[in-house]
Amino acid sequence: MKTMALAVLVALLSLAALVGTTTAVVSADVARQAKDDAEAATQNPGQDAPAGHVHTGASAGGAGLVSYAGQTAENAEDLVAKRQPFPAEMPPIARGEVVDVALTLKDVVIEVAPGVKYSAWGFEGGAPGPPIHVREGQEIRITLTNGGSIPHSIDFHAARIAPDQAFKDVNPGESITYTFQADDPGVFMYHCGTKPVLAHIANGMYGAIVVEPADKPLPAADREYVLVSSEWYLNGPGLDQPAAYDAAKAHAIQPDWVTWNGYAAQYVAHPLAADPGETVRFWVVAAGPSLDTDFHVVGTVLDRAWVNGDMTQYQTGVQTVGVPAGGGAVFDVEIDEEGMYPFLSHSFASVDMGQVGLLKVGNPKGTASH
Ligand SMILES: [Cu+2]
C-alpha cells in the first residue's frame, strides 16, 4: 500500500512541476504524505520495497490485492501535457421544448492516467459520457443504442419514471427510447443500471445531466464547469496492454485511480481558468461507483453550496461539502487573488490517486498563460 501511495505522489509532483511553483499547496501536502509513507516503509521493509523506479513497482494491497496505483508511463509528463483534457466547460443549454439526447454505448480502450490504458464501456465512447445541459421543464427524449457486446441500459437520476420499463436492458445492436420531464432542477448522475451495476459503473458508464433551474434562476455565474468524480479498479498496470475491471478490488473499494472527468490529475496539467473576481460555478457529480467526494477548493471558502443538489436553498461560507456516490451538488466560488487553487476531494487518499485539479485565477507568476 505504501509504495503505491508514494508512486502516485511522485507522479502528482511531476505533474505539479508542469505548472511551476504555484502548486506549492498541493506539493506541500503530497510531500508531507510522501515523508510519512517513506518513514512507514522504512519501518516495514518487508512490505513493499520498490523494485526499480516508482513507475514500475507493484505493491500488495489489502487482502492480498495488488495495487497498480501511481504506475504511469515513463514519459507521463509529456503524455499529459499533449493530451486534450476532457472538456469541463458547461455545454450550451439545449433549445426547444423537447430535447433529444442520443447516446451510443461503445466498447473502447481509454486512458485513465498517463499511459494507463483501460478497456472501458463508454457512452459515446468516453468516460464519463458527455455532460448534458437542459432547462427545468423541458421534455428529455433519451435514446440509448447499444454498440457493445453485452446488454446495457441507462438510468437517469433526474427522471421520475418506472425503472423496470425505462431503464431496462438493451441487447447489443438494439436501442431504447424513453422520455421524461426535467422537473427537478440540479445536477444528476446518469449511468448504466445493468447487473452487476458495480461493474458497469466501474467500467465507465456514467455521466452528468445539469437541469438548469427555471422557476427560481440561480445568481449569475461567469464560468461554469462540470466535474464527475469516479474511481477505477485495474487488473493490471495498463501500460503494455489495457487493464480491465478487477471485481475483487471493486468489492474491497480499493481503487488504483480516482479521477475528475475520467483521467487522473488532468486539470493539474491543464488548469481550469477564471479571472479574479469572477463567480465560478462547479456542477459536481460523484459517480463512484463506491467512493463519495468531499468537495473542497484549497485557498478559499465555498461562497454558495447547493448541498445534495437541492436548488431551493444554499449554504454560505462552508469549507468542504460531501457529495455522495450517486449524488450531485453545486458550488460557487469568487476568488479575488490571482493564484492556483486546487479543487479536490478532501479525502486525501483520493487526491493521492489522482482526484485533484487546479483552478487558475488570473495569470499568477510562474505559470504560462494558455
Ligand atoms: Cu452497462
> pLDDT of 97-111, one tens digit each?
999 999 999 999 999
pLDDT above 60 (res 44): no
Q: Residues lining ligand 1 (ion), CB within 5 A?
A: 152, 192, 194, 200, 205
pLDDT above 60 (res 312): yes
Read off the pLDDT band of 1 (50, 70, 90). Answer: very low
Q: Residues near 365 by Cβ (< 8 Å), separated by ≥ 6?
A: 22
176 CA from centroid of ligand 1 (Å): 13
pLDDT above 80 (res 57): no
192 CA from centroid of ligand 1 (Å): 4
261-291 residue pLDDT tens? 999 999 999 999 999 999 999 999 999 999 9
Q: In whole angstroms, what is the distance from residue 47 CA to residue 50 CA?
A: 10
Lowest mean pLDDT among 24-33, 327-336, 360-369: 24-33
| Residues 307/286, Cβ–Cβ less than 8 Å | no
Q: In whole angstroms, what is the distance from residue 318 CA to residue 233 CA?
A: 32
314-362 residue pLDDT tens? 999 999 999 999 999 999 999 999 999 999 999 999 999 999 999 999 9
Domains and CATH numbers, the chain: 2-82+224-361 (2.60.40.420), 98-217 (2.60.40.420)
High-pLDDT (> 70) share of the chain, %: 82
Read off the pLDDT band of 64 (50, 70, 90). Answer: confident
Look over the chain and give the mean of its residue pLDDT values, rounded to a whole number.
87
355 CA from centroid of ligand 1 (Å): 24
287 CA from centroid of ligand 1 (Å): 14
pLDDT at 324: 98
Read off the pLDDT band of 224 (50, 70, 90). Answer: very high
256 CA from centroid of ligand 1 (Å): 21
Q: Which three cell numbers stand for residue 364?
A: 499568477
pLDDT above 50 (res 39): no
pLDDT at 365: 84
Q: Which one is predicted more confidently, 32 or 1? A: 32
Q: In whole angstroms, what is the distance from residue 191 CA to residue 206 CA?
A: 4
pLDDT above 70 (res 52): no
pLDDT at 59: 61
170 CA from centroid of ligand 1 (Å): 9
Read off the pLDDT band of 87 (50, 70, 90). Answer: very high
Q: Residues near 198 by Cβ (< 8 Å), separated by ≥ 6?
A: 247, 250, 251, 289, 290
| Residues 130/123, Cβ–Cβ less than 8 Å | yes
pLDDT above 60 (res 192): yes
Q: In whole angstroms, what is the distance from residue 337 CA to residue 29 CA?
A: 21
* Average pLDDT of the residues in 177-193: 98
290 CA from centroid of ligand 1 (Å): 16
200 CA from centroid of ligand 1 (Å): 5
pLDDT at 54: 37
251 CA from centroid of ligand 1 (Å): 17
pLDDT above 80 (res 5): no
| Residues 59/1, Cβ–Cβ less than 8 Å | yes
* Average pLDDT of the residues in 238-255: 98
132-161 residue pLDDT tens? 999 999 999 999 999 999 999 999 999 999
pLDDT at 58: 58
